[in-house]
């Protein structure tokens, strides 16, 4: 399951977004630090293909892919050293796959800004610095620990120290590690530290309703320019927390009509998840049987055994072959039976690279 941690300054729309995404009852009040404990919510990944498969197969149950969102208290300048609620809340998002940084890009005199004015470029830099300083503390502790181990002649510890010291230099200058140009093997070394500034970032830009259908405002444009000029590989997803909150109150069948009335093609949730999948190189395959139709999340380029392992490690360990068919062929031929009659189901081995939308059946033996 994809896990995403939501960060941002107080009053930028973090908890409102979280509530809308998960229909949770997290408190969203117009003052800093209202979110004391981390809120965790599971959100279904919207995928129309799953409904089509379910209508065709008529299974006992349908299981969509899911994303787990972790919402923490709003961060302020100095959070990494204990300002506000301190950095202990950052520990709650260290195990996530990606960071969703909510940035306020709208003017509203009735919603206070903790720093006194609307400036998404400054806000981004404040949060980025706090994450880098939190990582700095983690790396310093990691170096101390490795040096103690290295005294006994441990070769792995000796090899890891230079990598952490390289990271320390960038973090000490207040720079996030995505700017450090770390090599893939160096990132593997750092992985156990679950550093925040090595994680892919999505910017959720909370804009006015009008900007979703009309011309982008100056704040959103400034954020886009800042991210582009910095060289950060990140995506920016504009959304309106107010619209998302209203959507969450509607029945699913009424949401499309509401969005259409506003001239909006898709909900912020859909676009946020799609952007996360794209950023992380994720895709979906399906299993479709009488008991269950289910969507599974894997990485692009994963082979059949790797995809099987997402279901159960035994499937990967004892993999024999995969019977596979594209989603379009499966639907066009009314399922496995019709596809078999036309010889469209392929038997693939361990080298097969799974495509997005493949419908698969695994054969294994342990």
pLDDT tens sequence across 69-115: 888 766 766 655 555 444 566 778 888 999 999 999 998 888 878 88
d(CA 153, CA 207): 55
pLDDT tens sequence across 150-189: 988 889 999 999 999 999 999 999 899 999 888 999 999 9
Greater confidence (326 vs 93) lies with 326
Contacts of 148 (CB under 8 A, 6+ apart): none
d(CA 130, CA 171): 10
Judged on CB neighbours under 10 Å (0-12, 13-18, 19+), 164 is buried
Query: Among 53-57, 77-81, 158-162, 310-314, where is mean pLDDT lowest?
Result: 77-81
pLDDT at 88: 60
pTM of the entire structure?
A: 0.86
153: helix, strand or coil: coil
Mean model confidence pLDDT for the chain: 88
Q: Is residue 29 scored above 60 in pLDDT?
A: no
pLDDT at 92: 80
Query: Are 166 and 182 within 8 A, CB to CB?
Result: yes
pLDDT at 84: 46
pLDDT tier at 242 (50, 70, 90 boundaries)?
Answer: confident
d(CA 8, CA 14): 7
Q: Is residue 333 scored above 50 in pLDDT?
A: yes
């Amino acid at each position: 399951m994809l896990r995403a941690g939501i960060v941002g300054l107080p009053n930028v729309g973090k908890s409102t977004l979280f509530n809308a995404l998960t229909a949770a009852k997290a408190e969203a009040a117009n003052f800093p630090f209202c979110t004391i404990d981390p809120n965790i919510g599971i959100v279904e990944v919207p995928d129309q293909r799953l409904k089509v498969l379910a209508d065709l197969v008529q299974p006992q149950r349908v299981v969509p892919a899911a994303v787990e969102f972790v919402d923490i208290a709003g961060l302020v300048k100095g959070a990494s050293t204990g300002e506000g609620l301190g950095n202990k809340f950052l520990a709650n998002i260290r195990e996530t796959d990606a960071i969703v940084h909510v940035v306020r890009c709208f003017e509203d005199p009735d919603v206070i800004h903790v720093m006194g004015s609307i400036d998404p470029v400054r806000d981004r830099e404040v949060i980025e610095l706090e994450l880098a300083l939190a990582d700095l503390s983690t790396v310093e502790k990691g170096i101390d620990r490795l040096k103690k181990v290295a005294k006994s002649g441990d070769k792995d510890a000796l090899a890891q120290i230079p990598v952490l010291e390289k990271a320390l230099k960038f973090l000490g200058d207040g720079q996030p590690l995505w700017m450090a140009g770390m090599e893939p093997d160096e990132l593997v070394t750092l992985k156990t530290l679950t550093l925040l500034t090595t994680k892919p970032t999505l910017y959720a830009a909370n804009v006015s309703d009008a900007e979703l259908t009309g011309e982008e405002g100056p704040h959103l444009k400034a954020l886009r320019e800042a991210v582009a000029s910095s060289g950060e590989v990140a995506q920016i997803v504009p959304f309106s927390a107010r619209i998302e909150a209203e959507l969450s109150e509607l029945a699913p069948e009424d949401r499309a009509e509401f969005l259409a009335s506003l001239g909006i093609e898709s909900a912020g949730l859909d676009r946020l998840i799609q952007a996360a999948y794209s950023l992380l190189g994720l895709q979906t395959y399906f299993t479709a049987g009488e008991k269950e139709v289910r969507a599974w999340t894997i990485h692009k380029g994963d082979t059949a055994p790797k995809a099987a392992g997402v279901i159960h490690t035994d499937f990967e360990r004892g993999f024999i072959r995969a019977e596979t068919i594209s989603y379009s062929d499966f639907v066009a031929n009314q399922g496995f039976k019709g596809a078999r009659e036309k010889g469209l189901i392929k038997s693939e081995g361990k080298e097969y690279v799974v495509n997005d939308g493949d419908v698969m059946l695994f054969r294994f033996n342990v």
